[in-house]
Amino acid sequence: MQFPELFSLQGKVALVTGATHGLGLAMAMGLGAAGARLVINGHSSDKKIDDAVASCEKVGLDASGFRFDVTDEGAVEAAVEKIEAEVGPIDILVNNAGVIRRVSLLDMPLDEWELVIRTDLTSAFVVSKAVVRRMVTRGGGKIINVCSLMSELGREEVAAYAAAKGGLKMLTRSMATEWAPFNVQVNAIGPGYFATEQTAPLRDSGHPMNEFVVDRTPAGRWGQPEDLQGAAVFLASAASNFVTGQVLYVDGGILASIGAPTGER
Ligand code: GCO
């Protein structure tokens, strides 16, 4: 296979969870631009899903929306069956759905901890299990788990999120190991600090994280959601057929660098 077919997703169906906004929607649109038919998942409201589908259609992409809870095994199985009947067999799954709670460990109630672990880690197991079973019978597929810098580094007040994202990195490696014989490649994308709704509280003017992130990032800026599209297309396409179990960090260089003394950047 040659360029550009190597990176083409023409004729493929891609399910992206938590894709109504932010990084999920941007990655979905990147896959769509490479030719994939998109299945946009969300949970909180029909309106958000309809708006995301409309924004895809507005730029000429083929998209449909499916509302279900990625942590509910019964709901996931029913939704995957419906998607495959109505849209087509899922070739690409992006496990993107996630939440964050910024609170110190000592103040974190157990139910909030469990919500984060279920949404950010358990959901990838639940959705993958339903999808991969079908991929295996068809001879292969691609899974992309959305990790984080917090798969590698801790930060005050995001312990549950870091624990879940660290777990997701290891789940990626285990999935890759178990499913490689079935021609299913499982990789992850690890976004650095991106300008999304999730990080809006950190980007408020005057918030110390705002300046810190720019200083700590060798590229000297917050990531824009579109910065993830190339990595998503690569990991979803035939170009990555011998790549599995990897986390591709898209972080402007943060993990490559210890940073510079205050005021020297
Ligand atoms: C935070 C969290 C996230 C980050 C991201 C970094 O600091 O609150 O780290 O919001 O944006 O996951 O990869």
Residues recognised as catalytic? 161
Cα–Cα distance for residue pair 15/31, rounded to 1 Å? 10
Q: What is the pLDDT of residue 260?
A: 84
Both tokens of 165, joined, read 């994202």
Distance from Cα 99 to the centre of ligand 1, integer Å: 10
Distance from Cα 121 to the centre of ligand 1, integer Å: 15
Cα–Cα distance for residue pair 144/152, rounded to 1 Å? 17
The whole-model pTM stands at 0.97
Cα–Cα distance for residue pair 84/61, rounded to 1 Å? 19
Atom of ligand 1 lying closest to residue 202 CA: 8
Q: Is 158 in the pocket of ligand 1 (CB under 6 A)?
A: yes
Atom of ligand 1 lying closest to residue 165 CA: 12
Q: Cβ distance 93 to 67 under 8 Å?
A: no
Q: What is the pLDDT of residue 184?
A: 99
Q: For residue 235, give the amino acid letter.
A: L
Please name which of 86, 168, 80 lies closest in space to residue 130, comparing C-alpha atoms. 80
Q: Which residues in the chain land under pLDDT 50?
A: none
Q: In angstroms, what CA-CA distances link 72 with 123, 124, 130, 152?
A: 8, 11, 11, 28
Q: Is 196 in the pocket of ligand 1 (CB under 6 A)?
A: no
> How deeply is 101 buried, as exposed, middle or buried, from its count of CB atoms within 10 A (0-12, 13-18, 19+)?
middle
The answer to whether the peptide bond before residue 191 is cis (omega within 30 degrees of 0) is no
Backbone phi and psi for residue 49, each to the nearest 5 degrees, phi listed first: -65, -45
Please name which of 115, 148, 170, 172 lies closest in space to residue 23, comparing C-alpha atoms. 148
Nearest residue (by CA) to ligand 1, atom 3, is 199
Q: Is 254 in the pocket of ligand 1 (CB under 6 A)?
A: no
